[in-house]
């Protein structure tokens, strides 16, 4: 069959099961868009390539399957970079296809020419510059294989315009790209892990996004329940264990509940599953779990010993490990340890003031949670609101919570929510955001309106870059600079201008009722929730400090420096 490079790309993407692609066309990708028009793939026109990248990420994070975004050469490619880098740090299977200037013009500083291959090397699992239409037969399936295999991640494919236009005779299409079989765990390692767990007095399970990627939530829960082991999660591990589960102790690290971090100090065995010991989780590494032997399971061998040397490191699929381990783990009620956990939980709980008031951070989050069921998908942007949601939203299932963890990209939330809604159109998608973050990809409100996605933007509006303001207050002697927005846009009017319903809780005497009305009306909307500029996220571990040294709502007994203590004591709460 005679075809073109561009048509070959869309055919191969269809064969990989791709139904929706987000992107923006341009000069160097016009042949691709001509082929896309003739394909069965739906194209979602974003308003900025970063939006397209995060829409694809939303699809990928919500489903666990690779998703695709398109950009043109030059600025199209550079605009995609943030979304690609974000996918790398959070292990999201994203496939970015970019147009490139014709091969004969590469290296001439042609119009909209940039070295996309070179730019994407450090932020992808792998990347390709396709040099002939024939290469596409290998590259496209291989890109999917790479994105899905082992630890998932992004792949970039740069396709010069003449390669898109080239005609090629294809006899047979290649097999679909699929994930390589994961490394199997060694029976010896399982026996050693089981022995450590069975012998431990105060074990703790420390789980991350790897549990969700491996679809290992149920296996995790079984193991935890069998051996009565408390579970803590990283930011990206939230949802892998239901928040309400009695063994679940919440998020670990910088904004964890004090009891959670204190218990990690005491544990004698840390079973770390699909985590990478990120600094926001560990705090000062030397002081993280100082009494514990560490069993670290990860599918990426380079994570074992990268930050913390494990007593036992296992390179394997964590679902496989949990299944194999289960029969070797002795049932144990662990009364003493669990009583201690309960005591510390009661003595140092997470404090969530204002849950009754929808105009306070925890109140807005809890009211929203009460208005949706567990099918709802929750995205966030990055900042204070993200931490409040991570602390207080009752996540019930894996892939319910989509947030930018590693890169911490403001602007993630809205386009990721659009992507999640495209992947699960029957569900409600909540995007918790802040006024700083929302402005970073505000243009995607137009995409949300056009696609009529069921996305509810809950804007916790404090007129600040709140987490910057908080750090200036706590760690820079209250010397605020560049963290306040002196011009405060009318977000409700802006949303209406984009053709989206808007609700402003400032304008009503019954904010809870207005919030309910917003959430119960299908289609995209924005809810402006004015919150106090002074509201801070507590507790907080100062950057670089040990997790035990948390600044708390109450007068802090163990902050790191005198200056910090003075500032903390003079807070306005």
Residues interacting with other proteins, by CB under 8 A?
Answer: 117-118, 121-122, 125-126, 129, 146, 300-302, 304-306
Nearer to other proteins, 306 or 496 (CB): 306
Strands (E) across 73-174 are located at 94-100, 126-129, 155-160, 167-169
CA distance 82 to 399: 22
Instruction: Give the nearest distance from C-beta 301 to other proteins in angstroms.
Output: 5
Nearer to other proteins, 139 or 465 (CB): 139
Nearer to other proteins, 115 or 534 (CB): 115
Cα 453 off chain centre by: 20
Residue 467, by phi and psi: left (phi above 0), alpha (psi -120 to 50) or beta? alpha
Strand, coil or helix: 13:
helix
Instruction: Give the nearest distance from C-beta 121 to other proteins in angstroms.
Output: 5
Strand, coil or helix: 116:
helix
Instruction: Give the nearest distance from C-beta 122 to other proteins in angstroms.
Output: 5
Instruction: Give the nearest distance from C-beta 396 to other proteins in angstroms.
Output: 34
CA distance 422 to 419: 5
Nearer to other proteins, 304 or 545 (CB): 304
Nearer to other proteins, 306 or 520 (CB): 306
Nearer to other proteins, 88 or 334 (CB): 88
Nearer to other proteins, 13 or 147 (CB): 147
Instruction: Give the nearest distance from C-beta 125 to other proteins in angstroms.
Output: 7
Strand, coil or helix: 439:
coil
Token pair belonging to 172: 């047979």
Nearer to other proteins, 9 or 129 (CB): 129
Give the contacts of 528 (CB within 8 A, at least 6 positions apart): 459, 461, 491, 492, 502, 503, 504, 505, 506
CA distance 385 to 21: 29
Instruction: Give the nearest distance from C-beta 157 to other proteins in angstroms.
Output: 13
Strand partners, 293: 269
Tokens 């809890």 belong to residue: 366
Strands (E) across 268-399 are located at 269-273, 293-298, 312-315, 377-380
Instruction: Give the nearest distance from C-beta 98 to other proteins in angstroms.
Output: 15
CB 415 within 8 A of CB 496: no
Nearer to other proteins, 149 or 391 (CB): 149
Pairing of strands 312-315, 293-298: parallel
Instruction: Give the nearest distance from C-beta 328 to other proteins in angstroms.
Output: 28
CB 187 within 8 A of CB 374: no
Strand, coil or helix: 124:
coil
Within 10 Å of residue 520's Cβ, how many Cβ atoms?
Answer: 11
Nearer to other proteins, 301 or 532 (CB): 301
Instruction: Give the nearest distance from C-beta 101 to other proteins in angstroms.
Output: 16
CA distance 99 to 169: 22
Nearer to other proteins, 238 or 304 (CB): 304
Instruction: Give the nearest distance from C-beta 83 to other proteins in angstroms.
Output: 19
Within 10 Å of residue 330's Cβ, how many Cβ atoms?
Answer: 10
**Cα three-residue angle 101-104-107, rounded to 5 degrees:** 70
Instruction: Give the nearest distance from C-beta 406 to other proteins in angstroms.
Output: 15
Within 10 Å of residue 107's Cβ, how many Cβ atoms?
Answer: 10
Strand, coil or helix: 305:
coil
CB 350 within 8 A of CB 247: no
Helix, strand, coil % (nearest 5) of the chain? 40, 15, 40
Strand, coil or helix: 461:
strand
Nearer to other proteins, 16 or 261 (CB): 16
Nearer to other proteins, 115 or 452 (CB): 115
Pairing of strands 126-129, 455-461: unpaired
Instruction: Give the nearest distance from C-beta 117 to other proteins in angstroms.
Output: 6
Instruction: Give the nearest distance from C-beta 302 to other proteins in angstroms.
Output: 4
Nearer to other proteins, 121 or 191 (CB): 121
Instruction: Give the nearest distance from C-beta 393 to other proteins in angstroms.
Output: 34
Helix count (H) and strand count (E) of the chain?
23, 20
């Amino acid at each position: 069959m005679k075809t073109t490079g561009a048509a070959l790309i869309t055919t191969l993407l269809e064969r990989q099961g791709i139904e929706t692609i987000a992107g923006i066309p341009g000069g160097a990708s016009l042949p691709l868009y001509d082929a896309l028009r003739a394909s069965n793939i739906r194209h979602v026109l974003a308003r900025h390539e970063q939006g397209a990248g995060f829409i694809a990420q939303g699809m990928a994070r919500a489903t666990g399957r690779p998703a695709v975004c398109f950009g043109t050469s030059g600025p199209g490619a550079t605009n995609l970079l943030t979304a690609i880098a974000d996918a790398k740090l959070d292990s999201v299977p994203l496939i970015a296809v970019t147009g490139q200037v014709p091969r004969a013009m590469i290296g001439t500083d042609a119009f909209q020419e940039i070295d996309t291959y070179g730019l994407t090397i450090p932020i992808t699992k792998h990347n390709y510059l396709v040099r002939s239409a024939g290469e596409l037969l290998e590259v496209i399936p291989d890109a999917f294989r790479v994105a899905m295999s082992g630890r998932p991640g992004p792949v970039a494919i740069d396709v010069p315009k003449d390669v898109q236009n080239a005609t090629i005779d294809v006899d047979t299409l290649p097999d679909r790209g699929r994930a390589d079989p994961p490394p199997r765990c060694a029976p010896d390692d399982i026996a050693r892990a089981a022995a450590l767990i069975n012998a431990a007095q105060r074990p703790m399970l420390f789980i991350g996004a790897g549990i969700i990627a491996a679809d290992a939530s149920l296996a995790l829960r079984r193991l935890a329940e069998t051996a009565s082991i408390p579970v803590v999660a990283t930011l990206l591990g939230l949802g892998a264990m239901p928040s309400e589960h009695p063994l679940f102790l919440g998020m670990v690290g910088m904004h964890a509940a004090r009891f959670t971090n204190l218990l990690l100090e005491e544990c004698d065995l840390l079973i770390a599953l699909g985590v990478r010991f990120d600094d926001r989780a560990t705090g000062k590494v030397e002081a993280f779990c100082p009494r514990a032997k560490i069993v670290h399971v990860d599918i990426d061998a380079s994570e074992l010993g990268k930050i913390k040397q494990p007593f036992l490191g296992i390179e394997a699929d964590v679902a496989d490990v949990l299944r194999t381990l289960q029969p070797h783990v002795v049932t144990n009620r662990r009364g003493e340890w669990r009583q201690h956990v309960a005591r510390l939980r009661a003595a140092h709980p997470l404090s969530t003031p204002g849950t009754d008031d929808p105009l306070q951070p925890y109140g807005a989050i809890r009211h929203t949670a009460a208005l949706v069921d567990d099918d709802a998908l929750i995205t966030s942007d990055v900042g204070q609101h993200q931490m409040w949601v991570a602390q207080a939203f009752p996540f019930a299932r894996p892939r319910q919570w989509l947030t930018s963890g590693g890169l911490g990209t403001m602007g993630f939330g809205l386009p990721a929510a659009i992507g999640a809604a495209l992947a699960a159109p029957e569900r409600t998608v909540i995007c918790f955001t802040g006024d700083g973050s929302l402005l970073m990809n505000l243009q995607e409100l137009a995409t949300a309106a056009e696609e009529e996605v069921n996305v509810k933007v809950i804007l916790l509006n404090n007129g600040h870059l709140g987490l910057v303001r908080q750090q200036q207050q706590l760690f820079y002697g209250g010397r605020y600079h560049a963290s306040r927005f002196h011009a405060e846009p009318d977000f409700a009017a802006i949303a209406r201008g984009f053709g989206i319903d808007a609700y402003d809780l400032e304008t009503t005497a019954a904010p809870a009722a207005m919030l309910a009305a917003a959430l119960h009306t299908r289609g995209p909307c924005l809810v402006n929730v004015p919150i106090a500029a002074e509201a801070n996220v507590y507790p907080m571990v100062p950057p670089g400090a040990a997790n035990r040294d948390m600044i708390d709502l109450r007068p802090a007994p163990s902050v790191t420096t005198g200056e910090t203590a003075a500032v903390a004591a003079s807070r306005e709460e």
